[in-house]
Amino acid sequence: EIVMTQSPATLSVSPGERATLSCRASQSVSSNLAWYQQKPGQAPRLLIYGASTRATGIPARFSGSGSGTEFTLTISSLQSEDFAVYYCQHYNNWPPPPWTFGQGTKVEIK
């Protein structure tokens, strides 16, 4: 099973500032990495797939990078609606499932 580790657990950021979230895989997942945003009381929403491709309707201030085992989600200028929990997930075809999530990074208002 591939273990996904996110850091930090909590990130305190002021509106308008940049946020950088990290995700590490225990073995290479190539670019088979997705990021999701979850707001309180809501279902997760797909933000990024293929490590760097924004999903439909996702603003350009969200960007993803990385490959192999190290990945980054950057929010260039935080808006009020961006304060949420962010999860990374690998979806590599090998090894067989589970397709695991990181434990999440909570982005909170500083």
Partner 1 sequence: EVQLVESGGGLVQPGGSLRLSCAASGFTFSNYSMNWVRQAPGKGLEWVSYISNSSSTIYYADSVKGRFTISRGNAKNSLYLQMNSLRAEDTALYYCARGAGKSHLFDYWGQGTLVTVSS
Interface residues toward partner 1, by CB under 8 A = 32, 34, 36, 38, 42-46, 49, 55, 87, 89, 91, 93, 96-104
Q: How far is the CB of 78 from partner 1 (least distance, A)?
A: 22
Q: Evaluate the CA torsion angle 55, 89, 23, 78 in order and state its sign.
A: positive
Between 19 and 34, CB nearer to partner 1: 34
Q: Decide the pairing of beta strands 62-67 and 70-75.
A: antiparallel
Residue type, 14: S
Q: How far is the CB of 39 from partner 1 (least distance, A)?
A: 12
Helix (H), strand (E) at residue 75: strand 70-75
Q: How far is the CB of 55 from partner 1 (least distance, A)?
A: 7
